[in-house]
Amino acid sequence: MSLVQLIDLPNLSDPRGGLVALESNQSIPFELKRIYYIFKTNDQQARGFHAHKNLKQIAICLQGSCKFILDNGHHKEEVILNSPLKGLLIESLMWREMHDFSEDCVLLVLASEYYDESDYIRDYSDFVKIAHQPYIHPLADVQSVYIGEDSRIWQYSVILAQAEIGKNCNICAHTLIENDVVIGNNVTVKSGVFLWDGITIQDNVFIGPNVTFTNDKHPRSKQYPEEFFRTVIEQGASIGANATILPGVKIGKNAMIGAGAVVTKDVPEKAIVIGNPAFIKGFIEE
């Protein structure tokens, strides 16, 4: 998604001249709390160099032109503002810089909140750290603090206190991750997946919807083994929807488990397995 979000402002111009009318929560997608404008800026003088934790803004170049650089901590984009009929929406947690002001530039800024110095992030290194923090949906129950940068935990996920999740993972809605679970980097866990104690998932693994893992070969209610079987999904493996993985199985690097397969024994690297019980259909050729 582009960082540059330009809004067409309501143009009520007629032969008498130009007219734009702005309304909170209508033409402006938030409740307007504060307005300021910048003018007579030296063309050699840059401005901005900050982000906001919660504040949203719309910048409108009423006259002249200027260049914005937007940065979300992952990549940057530039845009020239030079029309009173276009507004640049700047979301929260967006680093912004303003450059190349024309001599006649008048820049109007509409803000969603009153001035609050504590909402500013003025150090770029601090901004990058915040921008890369994991996102945890407010309806998720996450007790673990061991979650890597850029990971996303969606609603109705339950993650227990000792679980470890790497960087840039996507843990979809309606999932459960118990304490003795280790997840590497760049892992996708789709909805309906429960990861029980004893499971290790290495980097770049895909786990499809409703994949079922088990960790006890002889389960009885309220009776627990001294140690659960260890199940390992090696780097780059993919497990299709509704597959079942029995306890203590190792799925090899870059293996592919077909949808609905019941895996009862170890799967070699790059093997393609299907069926119940799962059997090797072939191997992935690079």
Burial class (CB in 10 A: 0-12, 13-18, 19+), 84: middle
State residue 126 phi and psi, 5-degree precision.
-65, -40
Residue 50 a catalytic site member: yes
Determine which one of 50, 99, 132, 174 is catalytic. Answer: 50
CA 270 – CA 257 distance, rounded (Å): 10
CB 203 within 8 A of CB 166: yes
CA 137 – CA 155 distance, rounded (Å): 5
State residue 74 phi and psi, 5-degree precision.
-115, -40
CA 133 – CA 186 distance, rounded (Å): 15
Neighbouring CB atoms inside 10 A of 25's CB total 9
DSSP string covering 221-243: TTB--SSPPPEEE-TT-EE-TT-
CB 243 within 8 A of CB 272: no
- Residues whose CB is less than 8 angstroms from the CB of residue 184 and which lie 6 or more positions away in sequence, other chains included: 166, 201, 202, 203, 204, 205, 235
Write out the catalytic residue numbers.
50
